[in-house]
Every structure is written in structure tokens, then in C-alpha cells.
Amino acid sequence: MDSTLLDKSRSLFIRRWGEMGASWGVSRTMAEIHALLFISNQPLCTDDLMEVLQISRGNASMNLRQLVTWGLIERVHRRGDRKEYFVAESDVWRMFETITRERRRREIEPIIETIGKCREMLKEELKGVKDERRKDIKEFQRRLDDMRDFFTVVNSLFNLVVKVGESRVADVIKVLAKFER
């Protein structure tokens, strides 16, 4: 009935998480399922999700599978119950690690690889080419190099966040503050 403040805040959070997911390339429903599991104390079954989020069984099943593949949720079995239940990773930092690992593998690495390939080609092209085109090639090279450097740094930062984790958040923030001018 969505009457208590607990219910209200649950549905508010779920809706917002869904919207955010949508603008980051995750389907709204998948993000909502994840949100619902994330804020739930106990494992939920497919029917729970269907009821709360008003989605079909097929939809729930497909999205749950994807979330399991991503490593963001897990299947849970209960003795004496045929149903399957699901729980979300509840540690935000491990969640972040999982997401960045997957996205880096699927989206950052390919672009880094592409930049590498382009650089090779340009190096080759530069060998026997007229002076006027030389300038274009050099400039393209410069921009690719900048971009590669950038991705390298971002990669290191991600690694750090993953390694540092929750426990030392306060310390890290303190150190970071020193650098801000």
C-alpha cells in the first residue's frame, strides 16, 4: 500500500536508482531489481520482484540472470523450498569493484587497444609521406597519446579505490584534501 515512510523511501530509492542506471547504459528494470535487492534485508524470490516492480516473469528472469553474470547478485537456496532466492552484494565497495572490473574489461580495454592499433598505423604511415600530411598525422598522434595517458591514469585511480576500500575512506579524503588548491 506504500503508506509507511519505510515503504516510501524504498520506492523513492528504487525509482532513482533505476533512472540513474538508465542514463549509464543499464536498463531501468535491471537497475530497479538491483536496487530492490540491495536495500532488502533478506533474500527475495522472483515473485517478490514481480509484485513490487510490476514486471513479468520473463523479464524478471532475464534481468536476474544478467545481474548474476555481472556478479552483482547471487542465487540463494532455502532448505525445503523449491523457489530460488536472490541477494545483492551489500558491500558498496565490492559492488564498485565488480562494476568497474566489468566495465573496464568491456569498454575501456577495447578503446585502449584501438588507440594502440591506431598509433601503430600512424607510425607506419609517417615513414613515407609528404610534408603537408605529416602535420596532420603528428597532430592525430599527439591526441591519441594524450588520450592513452589519460586512460592510464584513470585506470590507476580505479585500482586505488578498489584496493583502499571502505575502511580507510576518512584517511583518503584527508590526504586528497591536501592536494586541493
- Residues numbered 31-50 forming contacts with DNA, rule: CB under 7 A: 45-47
Which residue has 591506431 as its cell numbers?
Answer: 118
Q: Does 84 bind DNA (CB under 7 A)?
A: yes
- Give the span between the Cα atoms of 134 and 113, in whole angstroms: 24
Among positions 58, 127, 128, 177, the unique one binding DNA when judged by CB under 7 A:
58
Cα distances from 141 to residues 26, 65, 118, 128, 138, in angstroms, run 33, 42, 8, 16, 5
| 3-state SS class at 149 | helix
- Give the span between the Cα atoms of 112 and 149, in whole angstroms: 10
Among positions 2, 81, 131, 180, the unique one binding a copy of itself when judged by CB under 8 A:
180
| 3-state SS class at 61 | helix
Nearer to DNA, 28 or 101 (CB): 28
Q: Quick one: cell of 4?
A: 509507511
Task: Tell me the site size for DNA, rule CB under 7 A.
Answer: 24
Q: Does 114 bind a copy of itself (CB under 8 A)?
A: yes
Nearer to DNA, 84 or 102 (CB): 84
Among positions 20, 65, 69, 77, the unique one binding a copy of itself when judged by CB under 8 A:
20
Q: Residue 58: name its binding partner from DNA, a copy of itself, none (Cβ under 5 to 8 Å by kind).
A: DNA
Among positions 10, 15, 52, 55, the unique one binding DNA when judged by CB under 7 A:
55
Q: Quick one: cell of 22?
A: 538508465
Q: Restricting to residues 63-82, which ones interact with DNA according to CB under 7 A?
A: 63-65, 80-82
- Give the span between the Cα atoms of 61 and 101, in whole angstroms: 24
The site for DNA (CB under 7 A) is made up of: 22, 27-30, 45-47, 54-59, 61-65, 80-84
